[in-house]
Structure 1
Amino acid sequence: MKRKNIQNKNGISISDSIVMSVKRKHANYRKPFSAAIAIIGFISIIKAFLGMFHFNYAAGTVFIAAAVIGALYLTLAIVGKKALWVYAASVIVFVICAYRKAAKIALGFKFIYNIVYKDAYHSEIEYYKGLKSALEVSSVNTLFIFYIWLLAIIVFFFTICRPNPVLPLMITFPVLEIGMYNGIRVPVFWGILCIAFWLALLAMSTIDVGEYSGGQSGFVRKNDLFFPKRHMKLKVTEKCGMLIIASVVGVAAVSSCFLKLTHYKRSEKLDDKRREITEALNDFSFDNLAESLSNLSNAIGLDFEYENHKLGTNDHVRYKNVTDLNVTLDHSIDGALYLKDYAGAVYKNNEWFGLSSSAYKDPCFKDFDSYDLHPQDYPAMFTKLIYPNVQETTVWIKPSAKKSRHLYAPYDTINVGSLSYQKDLTLSDSKAKKGECSYKFINVDTDSLYNELVNIEAQNSSRQSREVYSVSDVKIANVKEKIKKYCNENDLITYDDYFPVDFSIPAPPEYLLSNSETLLAELMQDKYKQFVYENYLQVPDTKAMNEVRDAYSDIISMYDGSVSSEFATLKAIRERMLSECTYSLYPRKTPSNRDFVNYFLLENKKGYCTHYATSGVMLARMAGIPARYATGYIVVEKDISSGRSNADGSVSLEVKDNRSHAWAEIYIDSIGWVPYEFTAGYSAQEVNTEPVTTAATTSNENVTTTTRDMSERTTGSVSRAATTTTKTAVTTKASTSVNKGGSGIGSGNGIHIPKALKNILLLLFALIVITVFILLRRKFILSLREKRFTTGKSERKVRYMYAYAEKLLESLEMKSENGNYNSFAEEVEKSFGGIYFDEGAFKKLTDVALRASFSQETPTSDEINESRRTIEAISDKIYKKASRFDKLRMMYINVLK
């Protein structure tokens, strides 16, 4: 080819020539290689998925269909453009057939998901109930054949005809993720081939031969001649895709042989950490996003705690055996100590919430604040009437740093002037700092208290005329001003200046008059009772709850309003749950289409304290007994006796995370809210939940170490749960470290968000993240460009400006194809001179850029400023003439403005 030498006014000679080279001809294996890659992907996906589970289907029929469909689309893809219309027609046929078989495909999915659910959760429970087994094989066959059909359409076309990894990944990865997400091990060989296929397809589609159009152009100097330099990408063809597949398989095989020969074994600590992260990922749920992120961050080692009161979202509970609280008692006590920090009032959609704000507008709450006498004070006051000589106890509580934002308190607290009350739910020490607090309380077992109340009731009923302990013989003038004020405000004074007080607990009038706080508390409790019965008997009116009501109808019908029947009903509920349900720290998640209580009591029958407490509360409410859900920590007699005795007679002990707990609170008319224990294995003396059986573990990892079981997180109360021996078969997949428990305590605000709203919020969150990313990217590019235009050597500034001008002109479909910069400048001037910039300005910019690149002359500041004005003029004019969409693309996608 004739060489044309061009010499410009600067004395630089530029040679515009074409150099051609012809390589020796080789056979073209692109089609065979791409076909082989597609076949590997097609077969490996099918074998990997079917190898994870044991489905009920006609294997011969499905594999023959796979072979026929695969062969058809392989042939069409190899033929290429000539068969494209056949390919398109087959896609239309697929859509029509899928539409007609939609019901059968959906039924097949339900059968498949039932098997996936059983394998993933080691359960015999079916997610979709009521399916006819006679239809299983045919419907599963239909689903598999249609999926294989879709797989063939996409894999063969986007591997052979138009290599692109997006759609193949979209229809293959989720299929394998169904098993991996649930801890099912993928067949190793086929899993490796799947990964190799993805990598090969990614390489084939993203790297190909062609001229590099971005960045700066340049020249190659040879003696006194300059040749345009072309930037070429690396040539990666289907052959390289095959090499990638071979490399992946080879590396996997070598690694496997090396591990077997060296008998390599991961450290136990590494295995524990790996298991923690795996389980946190397996438990991840967008329905419970905040707690899922908290679990994952804790597994990684970051301290981010979030707990709510959503039930059934945790697959299992495991403990790290870390100290959550340090507790000191001024003397040893008998029975259990419950330390509460949360009480749930409304059960809805498998979650506990607080009462609505409107509920707390009841007038009785104004009285509580006015007279500084709250429902949390009642139990200690009224219990003292039954046990006048009961010893008071002082407790000091110091939470760990992780729990410092929680405030825990015992039941039966005595108000010594430093308590802060949260509605009628919880209380705390107003002087607490970093969670450290102290309380004075009395310690009486709930079952013992019930027995005393039953005896009192029997004594009263044995008399012909029931003795009423009242102050009806004392005029209003003889009581303290606070009581007078309350009686006047609530219209309790009779025409002859007396007021009625009726105690069911024996207490002589002299005692009541001398203890005006107790007398006022009884008057106020009469009013509070109405609020309790209006708000703490709510049960969801659902089919699932009606099924529970029917199953326990013989028990919940026992309650007739008396204390004895109330105690008997609660004991019967507890004994029925203990006999029919098994305590387990590995109950698996509650299916999203099930009610938590119904699933525990009637179907799965495995659970820990959260399951027992919630179910006990619902059954008590069905019987007509006011109840609510509480969480915190429990300390039993065995823990106290093993604590450290101090010289002053006090006892100090560390409360581990395995003492987090959930329990029920029962409202006793004559006492107030008291803790009641429904959970199997929990009593006032000890927690006895050691597993006696071991469940199969997931992921074929035979890690069945037992964990000390206590149930989930929750804050305790002083319940000396009765002497009940319980079945405590537990299935746990445990290790000595890990996950947070199930009952949430903490910062959940109790607001229910509908699922549709959650999806909208997630979408908004995603849009916000994308928007922030786009804005940050734009800011970074603009700042980097400005830095390049204003700092550094003059030669580099001009080169960056010229490169920016090239990008701007590309948006006008003006691109330098042959590397001849002067010819390109003439074309640009001819097309856009005087329109997008002053005539001759781009030629000047090109001249300055060439001199900056290929001569020793340094551009002056005036030349740099003029170059800057030229590119800004081009940018402004392009932006001004662009449509709205092009303006947005120019600003936020291409960032040219």
Structure 2
Amino acid sequence: PLLFIITFPVFELGMYWGWEPSMWTVIGLFVCWVTVLALHIINHTTNKAGRKNTFAVHERKRTFYFTSEKQKACFYNVFMKFTAILSSLVLVVIMLFSAITGFTRPESFAKYRHDISTAVSNFSLTDLRNAFSDYDGGFDLFGIKTVGGTNGGVLGKTAGISFNGSTALKVVTPKFSNTLYLRGYVAGVYNDNSWTPVDVNGNEDTFSDDFEQGKIWVQDLDYDLIQRKYADLTPAQISVSVLGASKKFVYAPYASLYSSDGNTDDKKMRPTTESYVKLSSTKYSLYYFDPSLIEERLEALPEAIATEVPALSVNKDRGVDAYSEFVHQKYMDVSKSDELDKAYKEILSEYLGVDIYHKGDWTYEEISTAIRNYFSDNFTYTLEPGVTPKGEDFIDYFLGTQKEGYCSYFATAGAELLRMFGYPSRYVEGYVVLNSQLGEPKDDSTYEVSVKDKCAHAWAEVFIDNAGWYPAEFTPGYDNDNPNLTQQEKDPKEVTTTKSTESKPTTTTQNGGQGGTTSVVTKKPANSSKASTTKKTNSASNGHGAGVMSGAGKTSVSSRITENNSDHGSFVGIFITLGGLLLIGFGVVVHRDVKVKKMRSELSNGDNRSRTVAVYRYMLK
């Protein structure tokens, strides 16, 4: 009875607030109710020790039970009525409260609803060991630092990030060019200093059925478009083992075919209607297209895919047009921010040379380069930016006051700026792998890479019509580089004799696809004729040695990471575990000591009657 009375109102409240539990959780709850009720019925209908009185207590087990059939019937009749009335009252009170006050579910509950639903639907026994390291292999006991810099779209809650040297993923792949972006968590709604995935209701989902008819998922869109345009291309195959990374998401390259993951039954991948793909097995393989194969044809990605619209008109039966319309509706909302408006205007005037923006006059490459250079010139990359003050908006504080941060800071502001320039965008967390990290090939010409927690990253993602989603990198120092890695970690083949090497400025050119950016911006002169010029040229270090970043005369140490981080992280974990065990042992000893002292006091003090009662009570225990 207590189980039902306690759980049902919670279940009822959860349904009202919009929590949509998985079917197995509902079935499990009903099975629990029925099982416990059945056990109690068996217990109450059993004749115990021949007792005839109405209510009795079992001396040895100290359990209470009915001995009268009449009293049993009366009790259950009253209990069922009470439960029905209580549950109805809960529902009526909620409805009256909502009707009288006009109260509706606040938007802030969207994140909690999503987190609860995701946790319930993705729960497995393997997640228990990952409970305290859910995001990228680490968790700080006192909530000061988040390992890897990515934590499910939550922004500004930690003072900084650190690395413990843990292995997040094991990847086996053919050789690739530039940087391999492994997309994991995907979110498109910024609210209350966090990113959450876009909710898709039945009326808005006009594309899923069309994709399913083509035997693909909406997440397969960019793979499908490349395959249709370049039918003679051979896709590469990547194998991934998820170790220390969050077990909620599939980590995969762009232009991947998610619907063919090499697993079957309950281990097969489970996509959401939109955004990320749920992880069902920690080992999987996917086919994907390496952008370098397309670049060999002297065509850029993704613009080249988007140019020949007539050649892609056959995709209408697969929901491409409907999905594109959905994306432009859902991924264009811009946060109300004065500092964001100031940044937009500064990019227009200082980096594009215009006062009014017309999207058709500029290419995506020019816009993304202007945004990237704005960040490089005016902001600093650091692993310890501090927390966002309570009551402050994350974007406002970052752009207006803080002006320093790590990847999730730049990804958030970059995604919002892309929307202001007319490009649908969203926020992504995952891992990045440099082509220099491949090391020596195996016998089958594939490469095995241990992707460490230092490779955790966040970036923006842009949608190009008739091309799909592609990464948009705005974090300084990540131009085909990773400032958090040492030179030895970046290039395992290179033997270094010193712990740090001198950083040299580099200038790279945008070559699209999985990675690649440019530091040269095309400025729009006043006469509206396009010309190439360099605006606020900046030097971005390649992250060698101590990871020194320079931009507009600013220099900051970005990581303070040494080669001993792995050992240090292991020792810290051991000490925390031993400390916890010692605390538990100390608590047990103290608790027993208190109990013994209390018992001695009760047996020694007071009158004979109280001491006799105490003796009998302790004897029963």
**What TM-score results when the alignment is normalised by the length of structure 2?**
0.54
Q: Distance in 1 between matches of 2:455 and 2:560?
A: 17
What letter is aligned with 2:189?
V
Is the counterpart of residue 398 in structure 1 residue 241 in structure 2?
yes
Q: Is 2:575 the partner of 1:731? A: no
2:497 is aligned with 1:670: no
Amino acid at match of 1:541: K
Alignment of 1:500-579 (within 5 A): 504-505=307-308, 519-520=314-315, 524-554=319-349, 560-562=358-360, 565-579=363-377
Kindly indicate whether residue 522 of structure 2 is the aligned counterpart of residue 719 of structure 1: no
How far apart in 2 are the matches of 1:420 and 1:316?
33
What is the root-mean-square deviation of aligned Cα atoms in Å?
4.9
| Alignment-derived partner of residue 170 in structure 2 | 326
Aligned ranges 1:873-892 → 2 under 5 Å: none
Tell me the CA shift for residue 552 of structure 1. Answer: 3.5
Q: Deviations over 1:730-765 (max 9, x none)?
A: 335735438999xxxxxxxxxxxxxxxxxxxxxxxx
Residue 577 of structure 1 aligns to a residue whose secondary structure is helix
| Map 1:692-711 → 2, pairs under 5 A | none
Choose 1 or 2 for highest CA Rg. Answer: 1
8 Å contact from structure 1 (residues 319, 707) kept in 2? no
User: Which amino acid is the alignment partner of residue 351 of structure 1?
Assistant: S
Q: Which has the higher helix share?
A: 1
Distance 1:522 1:708 in 2: 55
> Structure 1, residues 682-730: CA drift from partner, whole Å, max 9, x if none?
134x335689xxxxxxxxxxxxx99999xxxxxxx96222244526233
Q: 1:350 to 1:417 in 2, by over 3 A?
A: same
Task: Give the direction of change, closer, same or farther, for the CA distance of 1:655–1:368 in structure 2 (3 Å limit).
Answer: same
Judged with a 3 Å threshold, the aligned counterparts in structure 2 of structure 1 residues 391 and 636 are, in CA distance, closer, same or farther, namely farther
Aligned counterpart in structure 2 of residue 581 of structure 1, from 379, 382, 398: 379
Aligned residue for 2:579?
none
| Structure 1 residue 679: Cα displacement | 1.5
Whether the 8 Å contact between 1:316 and 1:586 is mirrored in structure 2 is yes
Q: State how far apart, in whole Å, the 1-side matches of 2:246 and 2:435 are.
A: 23
| Matched-pair contact (CA < 8 Å) for 1:318–1:738 | no
Q: Which among 410, 433, 437 is matched to residue 639 of structure 1?
A: 437
1:427 to 2:241 alignment:
no
Query: Residue deviations 1:208-242, cap 9 Å, x none?
Result: xxxxxxxxxxxxxxxxxxxxxxxxxxxxxxxxxxx
Residue deviations 1:52-88, cap 9 Å, x none?
xxxxxxxxxxxxxxxxxxxxxxxxxxxxxxxxxxxxx
The 1:296–1:608 alpha-carbon spacing in structure 2 relative to 1, beyond 3 Å, is: closer
Q: Secondary structure at 1:295's aligned position in 2?
A: coil
Superposed counterparts of 1:812-891, under 5 Å: 845=608
The answer on whether the counterparts of 2:302 and 2:464 sit within 8 Å (CA) in structure 1 is no
Tell me the CA shift for residue 636 of structure 1. 1.6
- C-alpha displacement of 1:355: 2.0
1 CA distance for matches of 2:425 and 2:355? 16
2:560 partner letter:
A
Deviation at 1:612, TM superposition (A): 1.4
**CA displacement at 1:388 relative to structure 2:** 4.3
Describe how 1:423-822 pairs up with structure 2 within 5 A: 423-427=273-277, 433=281, 435-444=282-291, 452=300, 504-505=307-308, 519-520=314-315, 524-554=319-349, 560-562=358-360, 565-640=363-438, 642=439, 644-684=440-480, 686-688=481-483, 719-724=514-519, 726=540, 728=549, 729-732=555-558, 734-736=560-562, 737=565, 800=602, 803=605, 806=606
- The structure-2 alpha-carbon separation of the partners of 1:552 and 1:402, relative to structure 1 and needing over 3 Å to count, comes to closer
Counterpart in 1 of 2:131?
none
Q: Where in structure 2 are the equivalents of 1:161-560 lying within 5 Å?
A: 295-297=139-141, 307-329=151-173, 331-356=174-199, 358=201, 361-369=204-212, 371-401=214-244, 403-404=246-247, 406-414=249-257, 417-418=260-261, 419-427=269-277, 433=281, 435-444=282-291, 452=300, 504-505=307-308, 519-520=314-315, 524-554=319-349, 560=358
Distance apart, 1:310 and its partner CA: 1.6
Q: Deviations over 1:370-426 (max 9, x none)?
A: 554333212112223554443311011112256555431221012564453222212
TM-score by structure 1 length? 0.38
Give a deviation string over 1:425-444, Cα, whole Å, max 9, x none. Answer: 12367xx53x1111010011
The DSSP-based 3-state class of the residue aligned with 1:645 is coil
* Unpaired runs of at least 5, structure 2: 1-133, 262-268, 487-498, 504-511, 520-538, 542-548, 550-554, 570-587
Q: Secondary structure at the match of 2:237?
A: strand
Shift of 1:343: 0.7
TM-aligned CA deviation for residue 323 of structure 1: 2.1
Contact map agreement 1:454 1:564 (CA 8 A) in 2? no
Q: Percent identity of the aligned residues?
A: 23
Shift of 1:626: 0.3
Partners of 2:559 and 2:309 in 1: how far apart? 52
**Secondary structure of the corresponding residue to residue 425 of structure 1:** coil
Distance 2:540 2:206 in 1: 44
Task: Tell whether the 8 Å contact from 1:392 to 1:443 is kept in structure 2 after alignment.
Answer: yes
Distance in 1 between residues matched to 2:251 and 2:142, nearest whole Å: 23
Contact 1:319 1:658 in 2 (8 A): yes
Q: Which residue identity does 1:444 align to in structure 2?
A: P
The separation in 2 between residues aligned to 1:368 and 1:620, in whole angstroms, is 27
Residues 587 and 731 in structure 1, CA contact (< 8 A), matched pair in contact too = no
| Structure 1: runs of 5 or more not aligned | 1-289, 458-502, 513-517, 692-704, 710-716, 742-776, 789-795, 807-820, 822-844, 853-863, 870-897
Q: 1:389 to 1:506 in 2, by over 3 A?
A: farther
Task: Name the CA distance, whole Å, in 2 between partners of 1:666 and 1:325.
Answer: 25
**Paired positions, count:** 400
Cα distance per residue 1:466-494 (max 9 Å; x no partner): xxxxxxxxxxxxxxxxxxxxxxxxxxxxx
State how far apart, in whole Å, the 2-side matches of 1:570 and 1:358 are. Answer: 32
| 1:582 positional shift | 2.1
Letter of the structure 1 residue corresponding to residue 540 of structure 2: T
Whether the 8 Å contact between 2:208 and 2:218 is mirrored in structure 1 is no
User: Alpha carbons of 1:451 and 1:624: their partners in 2 closer, same or farther (altered >3 Å)?
Assistant: farther
Instruction: State the SS of the aligned residue for 1:296.
Output: coil
Deviation, 1:598, is: 3.0
* Higher RCO, 1 vs 2 (CA within 8 Å, ≥6 residues apart): 2
2:100 paired residue number: none
8 Å CA contact 2:175–2:435 kept in 1: the answer is: no
Once residues 418 and 502 of structure 2 are traced to their aligned partners in structure 1, the CA distance between those partners, rounded to angstroms, is 29
Paired residue type of 1:363: T
Query: 1:638, 1:565 → 2: CA distance?
Result: 30
Deviation string, structure 1 residues 178-225 (Cα, Å, up to 9, x no partner): xxxxxxxxxxxxxxxxxxxxxxxxxxxxxxxxxxxxxxxxxxxxxxxx
Mapped partners of 1:553, 1:740: distance in 2: 46
Asked whether the equivalents of residues 176 and 290 of structure 2 are also in contact (C-alpha less than 8 Å), the reply is yes
Q: Tell me how far apart the structure 1 counterparts of residues 274 and 361 of structure 2 sit (CA, whole Å).
A: 23
- The amino acid of 2:413's aligned partner reads S
- 3-state SS of 2:286 partner: strand
Amino acid at match of 1:384: Q
The alpha-carbon deviation at position 451 of structure 1 amounts to 6.0
